[in-house]
Amino acid sequence: MDDFQGQGRETVVTMADAYTLSRAERRDQQTQRILDAAKACFVRSGFQGASMQEVCAEVGMSPGALYRYFPSKEAIIEAICEVDRQQDIESFITFLENPSIVDGLVEAAVAHITHVHERGNAALFAEIRAESTRNETIQTTCLKCQQQVYEIIRERVRLATERGEIDPPVDLDTLMAAFMAIGEGIALNDLPSLGVPVANLEILLRAMVEGMLRPTGRTTADSR
Amino acid sequence: MDDFQGQGRETVVTMADAYTLSRAERRDQQTQRILDAAKACFVRSGFQGASMQEVCAEVGMSPGALYRYFPSKEAIIEAICEVDRQQDIESFITFLENPSIVDGLVEAAVAHITHVHERGNAALFAEIRAESTRNETIQTTCLKCQQQVYEIIRERVRLATERGEIDPPVDLDTLMAAFMAIGEGIALNDLPSLGVPVANLEILLRAMVEGMLRPTGRTTADSR
DNA sequence: CATTTGAGAATGAACGTTCGCTCTTTATGC
DNA sequence: GCATAAAGAGCGAACGTTCATTCTCAAATG
């Protein structure tokens, strides 16, 4: 995997490979290779700490070639942030579907934790988070993704409160701010990697969410 | 506050000022000035992103002079991390003293949130956190500070459980890991700056902690 | 007068990026 | 189907800049 673009002429991998790829396909594939390699470098050395030379070495590509795919280092960073944030958020949203709010929140949180853990993304998230306080583009990306989750949860909590299914001890805004902050803390710390069993975590999170939402026991429909 | 070390010779602040300082005092004072200025730069541009020139300009000091106080940029970064982490932790520990665990945790959390907010330290914390995944010295500093809090809370929760004051739904390790992660998330997000009233937050945190610890109502002594 | 403090130019290394070039792939004309 | 042009992909040296740090020397201090 290392002597990809070697020195000799005969080791060069031609564009028309065993299974011939179109120009566009090849381009997409190379772009992805760069993003993957850059991500590894950025996790290792930080956005500012990693040099383009380091990224080039990781991809196995010369600077001249790499700059045909991205116009600048910043563009690579921003692309990585965009993809990462969107992916993180999608797994979360999917699991919010459960009709019970408490179950939905807990399941989504557990799915999110598992997702971050499996992809080893906690360190990158920490990096993105720090960078987002400085880079406006990244900040916008983060906010946009966060808001998707925020709006959905907020609306569901609001409706459930209106219906009398839950009785939170504080206003909706405080509740939501706390939820988002807590979720971030848990994702950032990658608890499974610290040896915390997800099953135990789920029990605790349910107790926590119930404490914060105070389910009344009655439901409008026959959801149980 | 800007034209401190001006260009002219007569504006130079001599060492023997109105109230004469000893050599050591003057040195400490200058060291502190450097740390403060560097902190501002690092918050603005990040540890890697800020240059020494930027720091020098912020202090109002030449590189040659600055390097008489710190041997390297890294030394400044590490000193800032050390001080910041220790300060953050101290305010927390102080407020854990309340005999009721729930009250202690909630009060400490609120004090911590207030402290981080007032000092505007959330961005620096994000930076330190990201850097700690790369710099071993910083990581050690963070762990050491975190552990001080961890041990105290853990022991208090353990004793309270033993006494039957609380009945957590999960094992102590899971509980503690979650507590630390949640605390970090809340501190990092600086909720007061988002407009969340601390009073509301306190109510919610209490509900949350009670959900996670399940106080039984009985106490060993007459603490209520 | 010995020592400390400071300024500011200078250092070499490393940075992100560009350039000129070669080779390969695709498009075009016959 | 084949020659040939145009475009794309890639390399690696080189660019100008900025980096952290050091050096030299002057001023202030005790």
What does the pLDDT look like over A1-33, one tens digit per residue? 333 333 332 334 444 444 567 788 899 999 999
In a mutational test of the A interface, the residue from B43, B139, B196 whose CB has the highest number of chain A CBs within 10 Å is B196
Residue A11 pLDDT? 34
Between B142 and B7, where is the model more confident? B142
Which of B178, B184, B211 has the CB atom closest to A210's CB atom?
A: B211
pLDDT of residue B217: 84
pLDDT level of residue A218 (50, 70, 90 thresholds): confident
pLDDT for res B120 = 92
Residue by residue, DSSP assigns A166-207 as: B--SS-HHHHHHHHHHHHHHHHHHTGGGGT--HHHHHHHHHH
pLDDT digits (tens, 9 = 90+) for A55-80: 999 999 999 999 999 999 999 999 99
Closest to A123 (Cβ–Cβ): which among B47, B133, B208? B133
Which pLDDT tens digit goes with each residue over B137-164? 999 999 999 999 999 999 999 999 999 9
pLDDT at B177 over 90: yes
Interchain pair B175, A208: CB under 8 A: no
- Over residues B69-91, the mean pLDDT reads 96
User: Within 13 Å, how many C-alpha atoms sit on residue B149's CB side?
Assistant: 28
Q: Is the pLDDT of residue A137 over 60?
A: yes
User: Is A176 within 8 Å of chain B by CB?
Assistant: no
Mean pLDDT of all residues in B54-72: 97
State mean pLDDT over A29-55: 97
User: In this model, does residue B129 exceed pLDDT 80?
Assistant: yes
**Alpha-carbon distance A210 to B208, whole Å?**
8
Q: What is the mean pLDDT of chain A?
A: 90
Q: Which of A127, A52, A134 is nearest to A84 (CA)?
A: A127
The shortest CB-CB distance from B177 to any of A133, A177, A191 is to: A191
Return all residues near A177 (Cβ < 8 A) that are at least 6 apart: B189, B191, B194, B196
Which nucleotide's C1' sits nearest to the alpha carbon of B59? Answer: C6
CB distance B211 to A211 below 8 Å: yes
**Bridge partners (DSSP) listed for residue A215:** A166
Query: What is the structure's pLDDT at B221?
Result: 52
A205 CA vs C29 C1’ separation (Å): 71
Helices (H), chain B: 23-45, 52-59, 63-66, 73-94, 101-119, 122-132, 136-163, 172-189, 198-213
User: Between B97 and A128, where is the model more confident?
Assistant: A128
Q: Which of B27, B106, B107, B128 is nearest to B68 (CA)?
A: B27
Neighbouring CB atoms inside 10 A of B4's CB total 12
Structure token digits, residue B92: 């927390």
Other beta carbons less than 10 A from residue B108's beta carbon:
22
Protein-contacted bases of chain C (C-beta within 7 A): 4-10, 14-20, 23-26
The pLDDT, as a whole number, for residue A220 is 61
**Cβ atoms of B153 and B179 closer than 8 Å:** yes
Share of chain A above pLDDT 70, in %: 89
Buried/exposed code over B29-64 (b: 16+ C-beta within 10 A; e: otherwise): ebeebbbebbbbbbbebbbbbbebebbbebbbbeee
Q: Which two tokens stand for residue B127?
A: 């930076």
Question: Nearest CA of chain A to the CA of B106: how many Å?
Answer: 14
Helix (H, G, I), strand (E, B) or coil at A215: strand
d(CA B23, CA B15): 8
Q: Model confidence over B89-112: pLDDT tens digits?
A: 998 999 999 999 999 999 999 999
Average pLDDT of A177-196?
97
User: pLDDT band for position B23 (50/70/90)?
Assistant: confident
Which of A51-55, A202-206, A220-224, B21-25 shows the lowest per-residue confidence on average (mean pLDDT)? A220-224
> What is the distance in angstroms between the Cα of B127 and the nearest Cα belonging to chain A?
5
Residue B18 has pLDDT above 90, yes or no: no
Assessment of whether the complete model's pTM goes beyond 0.85: yes
Is residue B162 helix, strand or coil? helix
The pLDDT of residue A6: 33
The Cα B187–Cα A181 span in angstroms is 8
C8 nearest neighbour residue (CA to C1'): B62
Gap from B5 CA to D28 C1', Å: 15
Please state, for a pLDDT cut of 90, what percent of chain A lies above it: 84
Cβ-Cβ contacts under 8 Å, A189 against chain B: 177, 180-181, 184
Question: Which of A170, A186, A193, A205 is the best residue to mutate to test the B interface, defined by the most B CB atoms within 10 Å of its own CB?
Answer: A170
